[in-house]
């Protein structure tokens, strides 16, 4: 996991199986302001790389992660995107995103060097081998000439805390001391 000094929220970022995630797109840009930041302020060092497939590939990109087994928990999914290649007029990159086999977002077209974020809460999970999973699939749209790309993904879990409230006597005891 990596911590970036330029992350205003001090999030930890890690590569998702870097050896299997090839090819990568990267920019030759070094100025942190060269990718226009969105309201989630993803660090330039995270956004200036993206995973994609080979240009002529029709394979989906699939990301799976094991998650909590509590069915009442909600998950917050944030997908951060920015086109890193200057496409010519004959090229298009458009894709659909499925979460747990349900169409989640349709016809996404990342903008060149502009960070955008797609987000939502997710209340249902898939179970594989008794383990709940979050399965995110990126599929090239029919009219697209290029495969999908992914710069960064964040998943947050809303945990239910089962602690009881503070006992009123605890406060009274502290006051006496």
Claim: this prediction has a pTM higher than 0.85:
no
- To the nearest whole percent, how much of the chain has pLDDT over 70? 75
Q: Is the pLDDT of residue 162 over 70?
A: no
Q: Are residues 81 and 110 in contact, defined by beta-carbon separation less than 8 angstroms?
A: yes
Tell which residue, 79, 133, 149, has the closest CA to residue 101: 133
Domain 2-162, CATH: 2.60.120
Q: Are residues 40 and 80 in contact, defined by beta-carbon separation less than 8 angstroms?
A: yes
Span 127-133, average pLDDT: 64
- Higher local confidence (pLDDT), 121 or 103: 103
Q: Is the pLDDT of residue 116 over 50?
A: yes
Q: Are residues 105 and 144 in contact, defined by beta-carbon separation less than 8 angstroms?
A: no
Q: Where along the chain do its domains lie?
A: 2-162
Span 116-128, average pLDDT: 76
The distance in angstroms from the start CA to the end CA of the chain is: 44
């Amino acid at each position: 996991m990596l911590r970036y000094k330029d992350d205003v929220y001090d999030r930890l970022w890690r590569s998702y199986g870097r050896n299997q995630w090839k090819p990568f797109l990267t920019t030759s840009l070094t100025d942190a302001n060269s990718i226009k930041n969105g309201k989630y302020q993803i660090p330039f060092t995270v956004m200036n790389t993206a995973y994609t497939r080979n240009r002529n590939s029709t394979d989906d990109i699939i990301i799976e992660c094991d998650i909590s087994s509590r069915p009442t928990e909600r998950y917050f999914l944030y997908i951060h995107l920015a086109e890193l290649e200057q496409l010519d007029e004959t090229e298009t990159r458009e894709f659909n995103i499925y979460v747990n086999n349900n169409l989640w977002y349709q016809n996404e077209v990342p903008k060149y060097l502009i960070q955008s974020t797609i987000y939502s809460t997710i209340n249902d999970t898939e179970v594989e081998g008794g383990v709940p999973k979050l399965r995110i699939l990126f599929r090239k749209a029919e009219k697209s000439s290029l495969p999908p790309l992914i710069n960064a993904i964040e998943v947050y879990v809303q945990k239910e805390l089962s602690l009881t409230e503070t006992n009123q006597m605890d406060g009274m005891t502290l006051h006496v001391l």
